[in-house]
Amino acid sequence: MANMNDVAKLAGVSRGTVSNYINGVKVKAVLAERIEVAIKELNYVPNQSARALKKQTSDTVAFILPTIWTPFFAELTHYIQLELQKNNLKMLLCNSNNEFTLELDYVKMAKEEKVKGIITISYSDIEPYITSNLPIVSIERYFNQRVPFVTSDNFQGARLAAHELHKRGSKKFLMILRALPANLGIYERMNGFIAYCKHEGLEYEVYMDKGESMGFAQRIESYIQKEYRNECPYDGIFAVTDRYAEYVIQAFQNLPWKIPEDVQLIGFDGARSYHQQPLTVSTIAQNIKEIAKVSIEELLQFDGQKSFQNKHILPVQFWDLKTTRNLE
Amino acid sequence: MANMNDVAKLAGVSRGTVSNYINGVKVKAVLAERIEVAIKELNYVPNQSARALKKQTSDTVAFILPTIWTPFFAELTHYIQLELQKNNLKMLLCNSNNEFTLELDYVKMAKEEKVKGIITISYSDIEPYITSNLPIVSIERYFNQRVPFVTSDNFQGARLAAHELHKRGSKKFLMILRALPANLGIYERMNGFIAYCKHEGLEYEVYMDKGESMGFAQRIESYIQKEYRNECPYDGIFAVTDRYAEYVIQAFQNLPWKIPEDVQLIGFDGARSYHQQPLTVSTIAQNIKEIAKVSIEELLQFDGQKSFQNKHILPVQFWDLKTTRNLE
């Protein structure tokens, strides 16, 4: 395989000139042309590691998230990848599986590799390991004032869910969520829902699960079966994610109450498993494409010296699908 | 930030010795210990680009696939990532969006970056650009004798689908697929289905769509609406992916025929949108976890000099869910 010396020889220039040309340092037009011809002739491929060393940066962005195996994360990864491609950037995909040490490994790796930056949806406490000169954008989780932060309006979204249930005739409310580490949108959703119910003087109950993700579907089923066995205590359910809403639908399959006739149900996310998938659960939809777009914009203009934070709280909307009744 | 000279100074050794130590060249135990202490003391992070240059390889594997935004690709990416992590490898995610030039860019990039290898589900013709010294494994698509190849048994899977429809009472068959570039498992599925019908002397029809992915759901709906308006011409449908099967279910919503009472339906893939998602469409399930495992094994023992191919055709199985009737 041809190396830089071969190119220099064929072009009749010094190795340094070839090196400058490849690393974007200006060389005379006539020499640049000869070098370009020689590169094509020899089918020379510059060594990226050498270039990264020289430029002290790479064109890779690390995307750290717990998993890509949910509709929300798959759709988000899809759109982030599209935005990166528009900017000639590549994605190093880092599924942390919620393991703190793994996330930390990725942050270290990112520093070693001199990646252009990190986009993270971290559910663990990597804050002390983030330095101010590493471009980073956080989705959904607030770190500190120097880390740009992109999230959906979880509080207003949950208020909207309660409001839509209410105006479609529900009177007694149930919210379903699972406890997760601090600072997540989930809690904003809880607060928004409670705020609406209190303001309107509505009865509500919160089912807050403290267990692991594994087995949550079964625990929801047991809870719903128990609560709804003899009566229909809540006629409006807000599940803080669409996945939990699907668990609720499963739980109702062997009960005498029908969705949405007896019980209305609203989820949260509006993510699809594939492009144009028809959705059925009424939901508070996040603008996933916009989250991706804003995150990459923030990353590209990152400035760790700023003392204030760029905080983007993106609007959500209600999608009236098959688990809510029509307005009269 | 500390550099190699700082480490050398603190450890009281030469810069070359530190360099050797970092790059895995044997140094005296007593010196190694002093270097290790100095590295910890200074919180020194070796520059990965410099190391990659030295080692002429990296710990990154490029995964090239059309998109991650389908349940099959999301689940496969999940398991491939897990297998890479077990081997301390990172994933460079390359969504080609079915664009040939983009896939080619990624192959070039892979060579430049000196990635450890490529795993690809390519639907376009990148074969001429693959060199024998670049470890590569192909999933689902056959390239040539030197590229290890991992696929599910699409032919037997489709035969099995026809057989299961048949033994559950279906008599007249319809297969639904969309034309895709050459060499895909899709055509094996078509051939397997036809082979079974011919062997058993069964009537069958093939609906082969020639259009784009976009709008396929609507075209299936029009076709089904037209065929089933006045009669029920086919009582057993095989859709070559679960997604197409979902389109079929949508299409039947406004027709007088019920699934599975009047028409049985079997899809293909058995992929989930998230871990433990309850599935409803009866399907021929691929062993996605095993595809990932075998692919990484093959990549790690790649030997481009071999003149024969390691071909893995993994078994599939029938999952009897809600779109097929019980056996009598």
Q: Per residue in A145-158, pLDDT tens?
A: 778 889 999 999 99
Q: Which amino acid would we find at residue B251?
A: A
Q: Taking residues B37-66, report their average pLDDT.
A: 71
| Residues B26 and B111 occupy one common structural domain | no
- Nearest CB among A78, A90, A109 relative to B69 is that of A78
* Residue in A95, A114, A276 closest to B81 by CB: A95
Q: Clarify whether residues A70 and A46 are in a common domain.
A: no
In this predicted structure, what is the pLDDT of residue A287?
A: 98
Q: Do B69 and A274 touch (CB under 8 A)?
A: yes
Q: Do B274 and A91 touch (CB under 8 A)?
A: no
Task: Give the count of Cβ contacts less than 8 A between chain A and B.
Answer: 130
* Residue carrying structure tokens 């249930």: A165
**What CATH number does the domain containing B91 carry?**
3.40.50.2300
The percentage of chain B sitting over the pLDDT mark of 90, rounded to a whole number, equals 53
Which residues span the domain enclosing A263? 154-287
Domain-embedded: residue B319: no
The enclosing domain of A25 has a CATH number of: 1.10.260.40
Give pLDDT, residue B33: 85
* Residue of A3, A252, A254, A273 best to disrupt the B interface, most CBs of B under 10 A: A273
Tell me the CA distances in angstroms from A271 to A86, A239, A279, B282, one per residue in order.
23, 14, 9, 24
A274 and A249 in one domain? Answer: yes
Which residue has tokens 């795993």? B119
On whether residue B241 sits in a domain, the answer given is yes
Residues A122, A163 within the same domain: no
The answer to whether A175 and A238 have CB atoms below 8 angstroms apart is yes
Query: Least CA distance to A244: which residue of chain B?
Result: B277
- Tell me if A93 and B91 make a contact (CB, 8 A cut-off): yes
What is the C-alpha radius of gyration for chain A, rounded to an integer number of angstroms?
26
Mutate to test the interface with B, among A53, A60, A69, A119 (most CBs of B within 10 A): A69
- Mean pLDDT for all residues in chain B: 87
**Could you tell me if B232 and B292 lie in one domain?**
no
Read off the pLDDT of residues B140-182 as tens digits, 9 standing for 90 and up: 888 877 788 899 999 999 999 999 999 999 999 999 999 886 5
On whether both B100 and B213 belong to a single domain, the answer is no
The string of pLDDT tens digits covering residues B209-267 is 999 888 999 999 999 999 999 999 999 999 999 999 999 999 999 899 999 999 999 99
Q: Is residue B305 part of a domain?
A: yes
Q: Tell me the chain B residues in contact with residue A2 when contact means C-beta distances shorter than 8 Å.
A: none
| Domain identity same for B280 and B160 | yes
Interchain proximity B108–A45, CB inside 8 Å: yes
What pLDDT score was predicted for residue B29?
A: 83
Task: Locate the chain B residue with the closest alpha carbon to A61.
Answer: B92
pLDDT score of B52 more than 60: no
pLDDT reported for residue A57: 52
Distance from CA of B67 to the nearest CA of A (A): 7
Backbone torsions φ then ψ of A132, nearest 5 degrees: -75, -15
The one-letter amino acid code at A242 reads D
Q: Which residues pair with A284 in a beta bridge?
A: A268, A318
Q: What is the C-alpha to C-alpha distance for residues B151 and B311, in angstroms, rounded to an integer?
A: 8
Print burial letters for B298-310: b (CB count within 10 Å at least 16), e (below 16): bbbebeeeeeeeb
Q: Smallest Cβ distance to A93: which of B52, B81, B275?
A: B81
Cβ atoms of B311 and B299 within 8 Å: the answer is no
Asked whether the beta carbons of A212 and A262 are under 8 A apart, the reply is no
List the single best residue of A63, A90, A129 to mutate versus B (max B Cβ within 10 A): A90
Between chains, do B69 and A48 touch, taking CB under 8 Å as contact?
no
> B159 or B32: whose pLDDT is higher?
B159
Partners of B213 on chain A (C-beta within 8 Å) are 275
Burial bucket for residue A323 (CB in 10 Å: 0-12, 13-18, 19+):
buried
- Is residue A31, in this structure, part of any structural domain at all? yes
Instruction: Note whether ipTM > 0.90 here.
Output: no
Measure B320 CA to nearest chain A CA, in Å. 18
Same domain for B174 and B241? yes
Report if residue A324 sits inside a domain: no
Mean pLDDT (chain A, rounded): 87
Is residue B63 pLDDT above 80, yes or no? yes
Position B76 pLDDT exceeds 50: yes
The single residue listed with the structure tokens 């905080």 is A311
Q: Do B86 and B159 share a structural domain?
A: no
What residues in B contact A94, CB-CB < 8 Å? 90
When CB atoms are compared, the residue of B67, B113, B278 closest to A250 is B278
A327 occurs within a structural domain: no
Residue type, B16: G
- Are B194 and B237 in the same domain? yes
In terms of Cα–Cα distance, which of A270, A271, A299, A304 is closest to A285?
A: A270
Sign of CA dihedral A207, A211, A216, A219: negative
Q: Which of B68, B81, B217 sits opposite A78 (nearest CB)?
A: B68
Residue B326: the pLDDT is 92
Tokens of B38: 């100095």
Determine whether the interchain pair B77/A94 forms a contact, defined as Cβ–Cβ distance below 8 Å. no
Residue B225 domain-assigned? Answer: yes
Instruction: Please indicate whether, in this complex, the C-beta atoms of B217 and A78 are within 8 angstroms of each other.
Output: no
Domain count, chain B: 3
Q: Can you say how many angstroms the Cα of residue B315 is from the centroid of all Cα atoms in its chain?
A: 15
Q: Mutate which of A4, A49, A241 to disrupt the B interface (most B C-beta within 10 Å)?
A: A49
Whether A266 is covered by a domain: the verdict is: yes
Please tell me the predicted confidence (pLDDT) of residue A307: 52
Mutate to test the interface with B, among A4, A22, A39, A48 (most CBs of B within 10 A): A48
Q: What are the helix (H) ranges across B120-184?
A: 154-167
For residue B21, give the nearest of B10, B6, B9, B35 by alpha carbon. Answer: B35
pLDDT above 70: percentage of residues in chain B:
89
Q: What is the mean pLDDT of each run of 10 residues along chain A (328 residues)?
A: 83 86 78 85 69 57 91 96 91 80 74 79 72 83 83 97 97 94 80 97 96 91 95 97 95 94 98 92 98 95 69 96 92
Query: Are A183 and A122 contacting, i.e. CB atoms less than 8 angstroms apart?
Result: no
pLDDT at B184 over 70: yes
Neighbours of B265 (CB within 10 A): 28
With CB atoms and an 8 Å threshold, state whether A217 touches B53.
Answer: no
Contact B250 A108 (CB under 8 A): no
> What are residue B117's DSSP bridge partners?
B61
| Same-domain check for residues B65 and B51 | no
Between B204 and A29, residue with greater pLDDT: B204
What is the pLDDT at residue B208? 95
Number of C-beta neighbours around residue B82 at 10 A? 16
- The pLDDT of residue B47 is above 70: no
> Strands B283-285 and B317-319: what pairing?
antiparallel
B122 versus B124: the higher-pLDDT residue is: B122
List, as own/partner pairs, every contact residues A247-251 make where C-beta atoms lie below 8 angstroms and the sequence separation is at least 24, other chains included: A247/A216, A247/A217, A247/A220, A247/A221, A248/A176, A248/A220, A248/A224, A249/A281, A249/A323, A250/A217, A250/A221, A250/B278, A251/A220, A251/A221, A251/A223, A251/A224, A251/A225
Among the partner residues A71, A77, A91, nearest to B273 by beta-carbon distance: A71
What are the pLDDT digits (tens) for B285-320?
Answer: 999 999 999 999 999 988 766 656 688 999 999 999
Q: Identify whether the C-beta of residue A253 lies closer than 8 Å to the C-beta of residue A282.
A: no
| Residues of chain A contacting residue B71, judged by C-beta atoms under 8 Å apart | 273-274
Same domain, B227 and B260: yes
Q: First CA to last CA across chain B, in angstroms? A: 74
- Is A69 close to B48, i.e. CB distance below 8 A? no
For residue A40, the distance in angstroms to the closest alpha carbon of chain B comes to 14
